[in-house]
Amino acid sequence: MAETVYDERMGDSDALTWTIERDPLLRSTIVSIWRLDRMPDLDRARAKLERTARIIPRLRQRVVEDPLGVAPPRWEEDPYFDLGYHVRRAGAPGKGRLRDVLDLAEPIAMQGFDRDRPLWEMTLVEGLEGGEAAVVLKIHHAMSDGVGLVHMTASLIERSRDPEPGADAEPEMAATPLAEPWSPIDETIDALRYQASRRLEQGRTAASAVVQGLARLVRHPRTSLQNAAELAGSAGRLLAPASEPMSPIMTARSLARRLHCFSRPLDDLKRAGKCVGGTVNDAFVTGVAGGLRRYHEAQGHHVTELRMSMPVNLRHGETARKAGNQFAPVRFPIPVGLLDPLERMAEVQRRVASERAEPSLPAMDVIAAALNRLPATAATSAFGGMLKTVDFVTSNVPGPRFPVYVAGARILAMIPFGPASGAAANVTLFSYDGTVHVGVTSDAAAVRDADRLAECLEAGMDEVLAVAP
């Protein structure tokens, strides 16, 4: 795996994620629960964590904003970094079942981060049923997207239960850099310097683009004008406002979260997607859509479409190595009322492919930069207004295709819980060792019967799997 690049400042998309949390309904907390077949070796686990905290700068860094707000926030070494604060232990709640671990994780998912510390926490849950254990990992979306999180946690996991050969002989890591907090004046000067350098670079890029554009206009005037019109139309669709959710019942919003999960074989989902020449993601979204139709019907309402938000991965070439968020969120209606799962999946595939092909997606950072130039309250209101009209979010993250371990304990499941971020629910799929683990994060005010929603989503997924040969 290529070495990850950690920039000194947040990218524009990361900064926007950070800024809009002035509205607590838009908190973007990612939670992942790892089921372990036994308790890990604690000494070995701590040594691994200490080493990982030195390898990955973000685990030691806090966010610092300049007084004038002229540049994106900066990542600074936390002068008070304490690994013991970020890593906790907890006894098994209830009867020590998975449901009890989810209940333990719900308030963790609800709580905001201490914004003066690095934006992550890890809780080891001991004494679960059958001698199992669990890890509840929580990070802020400003640190990374789902794909980046997989890269970051790669330093924690191992390929075998026993220590890797030569692990004891690993050279000592270099000491972490000394934390030297900047004064407000230093922060302001550096922010102004950064912004001036950035604008100069953007000016050169824009000038080059204008020259190239004029050259294309002279050679191919009709095509150039058509492309410009398509780009403008695409940006308009990406930012199109909506006044309210499409669901007639999932309209309220709150800070309370409910977590549910289920698993299915990965190969079954692949076969289902191939029935219409589609992918795992097409089958997954189709199952979620069917589940939401069932949930609305159970509440006495018929719906034909709901608004979905989905991240489109932009990690290509050099950007694939960068830490932080490398995706563009798209919002569009999904057919939930089509009863035939094959017909629904074909329509889902068509709409998802159309959204992925939007020409404005690579310019998401430019759009985020424009929003970041607004006053924080205005950016939060503008972007938050779009997010709160989303009915549900789906995300699909590929994980290890083979079993992995943590300090001698095998990871049985990696269950993802994405942030609702203003939507009524988030349904995230994580594939690991031949199984897809689906985590459901629902807003308790929007989804009054979260248990019923989870049942309906499972039924919707099974309906899709049943069409596979």
Which residues carry out catalysis? 141
* 441 Rama class: left (phi>0) / alpha (psi -120 to 50) / beta: beta
Positive or negative, the Cα torsion across 391, 396, 133, 87? negative
Tokens of 247: 């669901």
225, containing H or E segment: helix 221-238
Are 342 and 275 spatial neighbours (Cβ–Cβ below 8 Å)?
yes
Angstrom distance (rounded) from CA 433 to CA 247:
35
Q: Give burial (CB, 10 Å; 0-12/13-18/19+) of 103.
A: middle
Angstrom distance (rounded) from CA 94 to CA 286:
35
Angstrom distance (rounded) from CA 407 to CA 38:
10
Angle at 293 between CA 442 and CA 295, to 5 degrees: 50
In eight-state DSSP terms, residue 449 is -
Angstrom distance (rounded) from CA 60 to CA 77:
6
Positive or negative, the Cα torsion across 139, 447, 279, 327? negative
- 139-to-91, 145, 318, 450 alpha-carbon distances in Å: 22, 10, 24, 24
In eight-state DSSP terms, residue 27 is -
